[in-house]
Amino acid sequence: MPSIALVFPGQGSQKVGMGKDLVDAFPQAKALFERANDVLGRDIQALCFDGPAETLTLTSNAQPAIFIMSAALLEILKTQGVTPSYVAGHSLGEITAYYAAGVVDFETALKIIEARGNGMAASVPAGESGMAAIMGMDLGTIESILTPFKDRPVVAANLNCPGQIVISGEKSGLEEACAALKTGGAKVIPLAVSGAFHSPLMQPGSKALADFIKPLELKSAQIPIILNRTAQPEKRADELKANLPLQVISPVRWIETVQHLADTVDTVVEVGPGKVLTGLVKKTAPQVAVVSVNDVQSVTDWTTAVPV
């Protein structure tokens, strides 16, 4: 039996039509989408299946939709005998990892995702902050160029893979920093996001999330979770609870997360819509086997090809 890590994607992986074939083929997927409709008080299933895309892309819809899709795939994999040694998730996906490890149940995860998204959206007025992908420049050089902009603040937010770092910050500072990075030889791609996620500007959202989760009881993880903030495994309930509000103001250390997984498992499986993390794993640790599971066909292909 190969040792497996499951990784879960974050916002941006959503697409219209996701999950429809799962619901048609697997009762457990159908049940989860129906439960999600009840928890959220709206027809998130119809939005996933039929769109429109511009509505599905809204943070308030995209984040729970991606979680539901990933959770449905996870429940299907469980029936196929898949038992991971580690789990991790990119940004929003870390809450899916909490669910996969038994830290929170399905309903609690959805409520945390809503509170997290609302808090982050309310942290900075629309249009006053943003993010940009920096390509073709190493982290050390990026951080050196960002030094004069740290107090704006502009920071490295998503350390996705070698040669792909996302920076985050206040709008004018971000624009000036991007110009300096271009001068330094980097390719800069502004991202269509609503705020400076994983930066100090998310502090109000972090506090709101801390207040929301204070009365909640989280369980210790049954499977080690490699945290975005530390890139280290964690199972303790108190540490996992403390991590949730800190995560939204801290960098996503995905390069180190993938390197940790590549040192400890044979196969990394991306569970959820899209193949974003699959690409990042390949660029970071080409020596490890990686597969994307995102629909009925890919579930069938992988679980029949690999002994689990």
CATH of the domain at 18: 3.40.366.10
Residue 14 and residue 111 share a domain: yes
Q: What is the mean pLDDT of the chain?
A: 95
pLDDT digits (tens, 9 = 90+) for 102-149: 999 999 999 999 999 999 989 999 889 999 999 999 999 999 999 999
Cis peptide before 153 (omega within 30 of 0): yes
pLDDT at 86: 98
Residue 210 and residue 93 share a domain: yes
Instruction: Please identify which residue in the block is written with the tokens 């943003």.
Output: 130
User: Catalytic pick from 198, 206, 250, 260?
Assistant: 198
Q: How confident is the model at residue 222 (pLDDT cuts 50, 70, 90)?
A: very high
Residue 308: pLDDT above 60? Answer: no
Tell me which of 194, 213, 239 is where a domain ends.
Answer: 194
Residue 216 and residue 107 share a domain: yes
pLDDT at 307: 62
Residue 277 and residue 212 share a domain: yes
Residue 116 and residue 233 share a domain: yes
Residue 286 and residue 160 share a domain: no
pLDDT at 170: 96
Annotated catalytic, 198?
A: yes
Residue 240 and residue 92 share a domain: yes
Per-residue pLDDT, averaged over 226-242, amounts to 98
Residue 135 and residue 111 share a domain: no
User: Catalytic pick from 13, 70, 91, 129?
Assistant: 91
Residue 149 and residue 51 share a domain: no
pLDDT digits (tens, 9 = 90+) for 181-212: 999 999 999 998 888 999 999 999 999 999 99
Percent above pLDDT 90 for the chain: 93
pLDDT at 282: 98
Q: How many domains does the chain fold into? A: 2
Boundaries of domain holding 25? 4-122+201-305
pLDDT at 127: 86
- Answer for the pair 231, 56: CB distance below 8 angstroms, yes or no: no
- From the list 236, 232, 160, the residue with the least C-alpha distance to 198 is 160
Per-residue pLDDT, averaged over 218-242, amounts to 98
Per-residue pLDDT, averaged over 26-37, amounts to 95
- Answer for the pair 197, 91: CB distance below 8 angstroms, yes or no: yes
Tell me which of 194, 218, 243 is where a domain ends.
Answer: 194
Residue 28: pLDDT above 90? Answer: yes
pLDDT at 59: 85
Residue 139 and residue 14 share a domain: no
CATH number at residue 155: 3.30.70.250
Annotated catalytic, 91?
A: yes
Contacts of 272 (CB under 8 A, 6+ apart): 8, 9, 13, 66, 69, 70, 73, 93, 96, 294
Tell me which of 194, 214, 247 is where a domain ends.
Answer: 194
pLDDT at 58: 86
Residue 113 and residue 29 share a domain: yes
Residue 217 and residue 112 share a domain: yes
pLDDT digits (tens, 9 = 90+) for 248-307: 999 999 999 999 999 999 999 999 999 999 999 999 999 999 999 999 999 999 988 776
pLDDT at 2: 77
pLDDT at 1: 58
Cα–Cα distance, 84 to 217 (Å, whole number): 24
